[in-house]
A and B are shown apart, each in its own frame.
Chain A
Amino acid sequence: MRFGHMLASVALGFATLASTGAKAVEIEYWQYVFDTRVKAMNQLIAKFQEANPDIKVKQTTFPYADYQTKVAAAILAGQGPDVVQLFYGWTDNFIAGKMIRPLRAEAFPSAEIERDFFPIVSAMKRGNDYYGLPTAVRSLALFYNKKAFKDAGLDPNNPPKTLDELVAAAEKTVKRDGSGNIISAGMTLDMGGQDHQWWREVLVRQFGGVPYTENDTKVAYNDEAGQKALTFYTDLQKKHKVGQAGFMDEGQAAFRAGLAAMTIDGTFRLGSFGTIKAFEWGVTELPANAQGMRSNYASYFANAITTKAEGEKLAAAEKFLKYVSSPEAMKVWMDVVGELPARRTAALTPENIGHPIYGPFLKGLEYSHTTLFKDEAAQRQTAIDMANRVLIGGEDPKTSLAKAAEAEQAIIDRAKR
C-alpha cells in the first residue's frame, strides 16, 4: 500500500518534471517527523503539484527533539525551508530571529482570516500582521473508560458534566488494595501531561480567575481563584484520593492499560488510544463548573513563510500556504492525522459535531483559550513544581501558588528582553 503510494508520487514527480522541464520553481517544506503528518503532507503536496505543475514542493522532516534548533540554524545560514511548520508558541522566537516573515495582507487579508478561522488563530498575530496559518488545531477533552464506568455501576453513556460529577465518578471508579494503595485510579493526575493546560486555562477560569493579563505577559493566577483551582486539583489526590501523581508513570499510560477510569488529554492522543482493544472508551467535553461555565485549551502547529523565500519562490510559497490552509487540505488532514480543521466551516459540519469522538473536541474549540507561552517547557515546569510542592512537600497551596507565579513571571520577563 505504502509502496504503491510511493510509486505513484515518484511517477507523478517524473511526469511533472517531464511536462514542465526546467521551468518549475522548487520550494522546500519542513516539518517534524510524525508518521501520519508526513503521510498527509505527501498527499497534499501531490494534489497541489497536480494543480500547479510549475511548482515543485520538497518535504524535509526531522525528529521533534532537534526540530527548532535545526530550523533556526538552517534559516540563519541562508538554507532550509521556504514554508515551515512551527508550534504557535515559538512564533516570538522565530520572529525575533528574523526567520519568518509576515503574511502579505494582499494574499491573506486579516478580515478573511478572522472571519473563517477559529479565534485561537490570533496567537499568530503580532500588531496587524499574521505570521502563519494552521491547517489543524487540537483541543482537550475528558476520556473515560466505559468498562470501568459499567463495573462501578455508572452509566457508561452519561459521563460527568461538571467538576463535582467528575469527583463523584472518580470516587466510584477508584480501586485500592488492602493497605489503601491505589491499584486503579479514578482520575489521572499528570501535570507533565495535559493537566497543566487544564489547570491554567480551564480550572483557574472556572474558579473565577484569569491565568494571565496583558497578552499573557503578566501572571494573574496568584489570587483566591488560583488557590481554589490548585486546591481542587491537589485534593483529587490528597482529600478524595482518587488518583496519584506518578501512578503508572504517566496518566496516558494508566488509561491505556485500563488502570484509570478518566484522563484529560488532547486530539493528538486519539491515534494511540485508537489501538486499545481491551475496553471501550468514550470522550466528553471537559467538565463545567457549578455555574455551567466551560473552558478549554487549544493549540496548533502553523505553517509560515520564511525570510529565505524571495521572488518567484515567495509567490510559490504563498500559493502553497494557501492550499495547505484550504478547507480541502483540512479535510485530508483530519482524515489522515485525526486533527481538527482550523476553519469554522470545515470543522463545524453537522457530521463532525455529531461525531462521538470529534464532537466533544470541536465543541471545546468554540470556547477555548490559547496560552502565549514564552518558554513552554519552562512554564510547564513551574506548574509541575507547583503541584509537587503540595503533593510531595506538603506545602499549602497558597504558598506554592505564590512561588509558581513568581517563577513563571521571571521566565516571561526574561524572554521579553
Chain B
Amino acid sequence: MSTITHREAAGGGLWSRMSLGQKQVIWAWGFLAVPILFYVVIRFWPTFQAFYLSVTDWTITKPASFVGLENYKRLLEDPLFWQVFRNTFLYLILGTPISLLISFVVAYYLDRVRFMHSFIRALYFLPFLTTAAAMAWVWRWFYQPVPIGVINDILSSFGIPQQPFLRSTSQALPAVLAPAVWAGLGFQIIIFLAGLRAIPVTYYEAARIDGLSEGAILRKITLPLLKPTLVFLVVFSSIGFLRIFDQVYNINTNDPGGPLNSTKPLVLMIYQTAFSSYEMGYAAAQTVVLFMILLVISLVQLRLMRDR
C-alpha cells in the first residue's frame, strides 16, 4: 500500500493531472495488454514465422536458406498434394451437411420431447466429451474383418459378404468420417437447441392461430430465425472438418491416411512432412496453403450467410 502511494507521489502529478476518462483508457489497455501480448507472442509471431519458413529449406538439422517459391512449386507438382486436397474437401462437403442435417433433425424433435429430455441430451453430448484418439481406436476395431470386427460379424451372420471398410480406397474415407460426424453431433445439437429455444413462442402461437402447417412453420419461421445459429455451426464445423486429424491418424496408425493415401487430409500431410520427414520448409508451405483455404472458406461462408 505504501509503495503505491509513494510511486504516485513520485509520478510528479502526471497521473493526477489526467482526466478520469484518460485513466480509464490507460487501465483498460493495461489489462488488455496481457492477452494481446500473449496472442502476439504465442500465435501471431509463429504464424509470421511459418510464412517465412515456407520460403526456406529448413530441415531442423540443416540451417535454413532462402529458396523462394520452390516449396510452393513442389507442392503444386506433387500428386499427393492434389489427392490430399481432394480428400480434405470430401471431408468438408460430406461431413458438414450430413452432420448439420442429423443434428438439426435430432434437435428439432428433442426440443419437443419432455420425457427424460436432459438425459437424452446428455447421451447425445457424451461422444463429444470422449477423446478422439480413444474413439478412433474403438471404431478401428468395429471395422475389422471377421472374426473380431463387430460390423463384419453382423454382416456375415446375415450372409452378407464382409466389407473391407478401412482396407478399401473407396470405403475408407466415409468409414473414417462416420465417427467424426458422430462425435461432433452432441455439440451441434446443444447449439441448435439453444437456437430453437431463443425463438419467441409468440411467433409460433400466432402462426398456429393463422392455421399454418407444421412444414410451413418450419420453413417460414424456424429456419429463418435459426440463421445466426446455422451460420455459426456451418463455419465452425467446416473449419473442424478441414482440420480433421486425430480420427484419421488413430484409426490407421500403421499406415496413417491410408490405404494408398485415400483418407489423408492436409493436416496429416503437414504433420508427416514436418515431424516424420523433418522437411520444415515444405511443411510450412503446406500450412500457409491450409491457412489460405480456411480463410477463404470462412470469409465466403460468412458473406453468403450474412443477414441482408
| Interface residues in chain B, defined as those with a beta carbon under 8 Å from any beta carbon in chain A | 57, 60-62, 140-141, 144-148, 156, 159, 161-162, 164, 166-169, 254-255, 258-261, 272, 275-279
Which of A72, A244, A249, A375 interacts with B61 by CB under 8 Å? A72
| Residues on A facing B (Cβ under 8 Å) | 68-69, 72-73, 76, 93-94, 96-99, 177, 179, 181-183, 190, 192-193, 244-250, 259, 375, 377-378, 381, 384-385, 388-389, 392-393, 414, 417
Task: Please measure, in the bound complex, the distance between the C-alpha atom of A94 and the C-alpha atom of B164, giving whole angstroms.
Answer: 41
Cβ–Cβ < 8 Å partners of B146 in chain A = 177, 181, 183
> Across the interface, do A96 and B62 meet the contact criterion of CB distance under 8 Å?
yes
Q: Which residues of B contact A68 (CB under 8 A)?
A: 278
Q: How far is the CB of A137 from chain B (nearest CB, A)?
A: 24
**Residue in A97, A245, A250, A384 whose beta carbon sits within 8 Å of that of B60 in the complex:** A97
**Residues of chain B within 8 A of A96, CB atoms compared:** 61-62
- Whether the pair B60, A246 counts as a contact (CB closer than 8 A) is no
Nearest chain A CB to B279 CB, angstrom units = 8
Contact call A181/B260, Cβ cutoff below 8 A: no
**Contact A384:B277 (CB < 8 A) given known A96-B61, A246-B167:** no
Among the listed B140, B259, B260, B275, which residue makes an inter-chain contact with A69, where contact means beta carbons less than 8 Å apart?
Answer: B275
Q: Once bound together, how far apart are the Cα atoms of A55 and B182, in whole Å?
A: 58
**Is A94 a contact of B61 with CB atoms below 8 Å?**
yes
Selected from B60, B61, B162, the residue in CB contact (under 8 A) with A181 is B162
Q: A177 touching B156 by the CB < 8 A rule?
A: yes
Are A249 and B144 closer than 8 Å at their CB atoms?
A: yes
Interchain CB contact under 8 A, B61 and A97: yes
CB pair B62–A97 under 8 Å, yes or no, is yes
Q: Do residues A183 and B275 form an inter-chain contact, with CB atoms below 8 A?
A: no
Asked if B141 contacts A249 (CB within 8 A), the reply is: yes
Residues of A close to B147: CB separation below 8 A: 183, 259
Contact B258 A388 (CB under 8 A): yes
Q: Residue on A with the closest CB to B140?
A: A249
State the CA gap A250–B167 with chains docked (Å): 12
**Inter-chain contact A192/B255, CB cutoff 8 Å:** yes
**Which chain A residue lies CB-closest to B137?**
A249
Asked if B276 and A388 make an inter-chain contact with CB atoms under 8 angstroms apart, the answer reads: no
A76, B159: Cα distance in complex, Å: 61
Chain B min CB distance to A390 (Å): 11
Contact B276–A378 (Cβ < 8 Å): yes
Residues on the B chain within 8 Å of A193, using CB: 254
Give the docked Cα–Cα distance between A248 and B61 (Å): 39
Contacts of B161 in A (CB 8 A): 179
A378-B277 CB under 8 A given contacts A181-B146, A392-B259:
yes
> Considering the chains assembled together, what is the distance between the CA atoms of A349 and B164 in angstroms?
48
B272–A244 touching, CB < 8 Å: no
Please name all residues of chain B whose beta carbon is closer than 8 Å to the beta carbon of A94 when the two chains form the complex: 61
Whether A392 pairs with B61 at a CB distance below 8 angstroms is no
Nearest-CB residue, chain A, relative to B141:
A249
Nearest to A380 among chain B residues (CB) is B255
Identify the closest chain B residue to A95 (Cβ).
B61
What would 19 A/B residue contacts be, using CB atoms closer than 8 Å?
A: A68-B278, A73-B60, A97-B60, A179-B156, A179-B159, A246-B144, A247-B145, A248-B148, A249-B140, A377-B276, A378-B276, A384-B254, A384-B258, A385-B258, A385-B261, A389-B260, A392-B164, A392-B168, A393-B260
Q: Could you tell me the distance in whole angstroms from the C-beta of A249 to the nearest C-beta in chain B?
A: 6
A401 CB, min distance to chain B CBs, angstroms: 15
**CB-nearest residue of chain B relative to A193?**
B254
Instruction: Give A99 to B60 CA distance when docked, in angstroms.
Output: 11
- Please, which residue of chain A has its CB at the minimum distance from the CB of B146? A181
CB atoms of A99 and B61 under 8 A apart: yes
Q: Which residue of A lies closest to B145 (CB)?
A: A247
